[in-house]
């Protein structure tokens, strides 16, 4: 499992980069979902989001899942390319597959990488 140390993680498997404000889903989450075939971003630039608000929906060959904001703030960017390349979530969840960027808000109940890895290992049993 790839868990970059500079990111923060929510129990609902979203990651948040406190430096850039980028949000996406974790490597663990994309692995659980399997091959992702559809992504819809549910918020637009300029919108305010609160922790726990649905910001995107993803569908894979196995399941569909809502993606929730791990931080509150103003949406400053939306990754419009993601709809045309949903598979990038499987190949580059922390790079090309960021979903939105948030500024001016505070992170919700998030964990550092070590705590998130421990949390995921506990769920695997």
For residue 108, what pLDDT is reported? Answer: 86
Whether 90 maps to a domain, the answer reads yes
Range of the domain at 55: 12-123
49 contacts 68 by C-beta, under 8 angstroms = no
Residue 87, burial from CB neighbour count under 10 angstroms (0-12, 13-18, 19+): middle
| Local confidence pLDDT in tens for the 125 residues of the chain | 899 999 999 999 999 999 999 999 999 999 999 999 999 999 999 999 999 999 999 999 988 999 999 999 999 999 999 999 999 999 999 999 999 999 977 888 999 999 999 999 998 65
Whether 3 maps to a domain, the answer reads no
Whether 76 maps to a domain, the answer reads yes
Nearest to 8 by CA among 100, 96, 106, 74: 106
CATH code for position 54: 2.40.50.100
Whether 2 maps to a domain, the answer reads no
**Nearby residues of 29 by Cβ (< 8 Å), 6 or more positions away:** 13, 14, 65, 93
Whether 55 maps to a domain, the answer reads yes
72 contacts 50 by C-beta, under 8 angstroms = yes
Whether 118 maps to a domain, the answer reads yes
Q: For the chain, first and last CA: distance in Å?
A: 15
Phi, then psi, of 32 in degrees rounded to 5: -70, -35
Using a cut of 0.85, tell me whether the model's pTM lies above it.
Answer: yes
Whether 4 maps to a domain, the answer reads no
Whether 110 maps to a domain, the answer reads yes
According to DSSP, the residues that pair with 77 across neighbouring strands are 101
How many domains does the chain divide into?
1
């Amino acid at each position: 499992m790839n868990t970059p140390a500079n990111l923060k993680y929510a129990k609902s498997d979203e990651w948040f980069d406190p430096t850039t404000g980028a949000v996406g889903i974790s490597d663990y989450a994309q692995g659980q979902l399997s091959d992702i075939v559809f992504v819809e971003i549910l918020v637009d630039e300029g919108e305010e989001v609160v922790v726990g608000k649905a910001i995107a929906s993803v569908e894979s060959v196995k399941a569909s899942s809502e993606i929730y904001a791990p931080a509150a703030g103003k949406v400053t960017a939306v990754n419009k390319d993601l709809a045309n390349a949903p598979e990038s979530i499987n190949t580059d969840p922390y790079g090309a597959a960021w979903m939105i960027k948030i500024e001016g808000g505070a992170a919700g109940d998030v964990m550092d990488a070590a705590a998130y890895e421990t949390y995921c290992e506990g769920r695997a049993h």
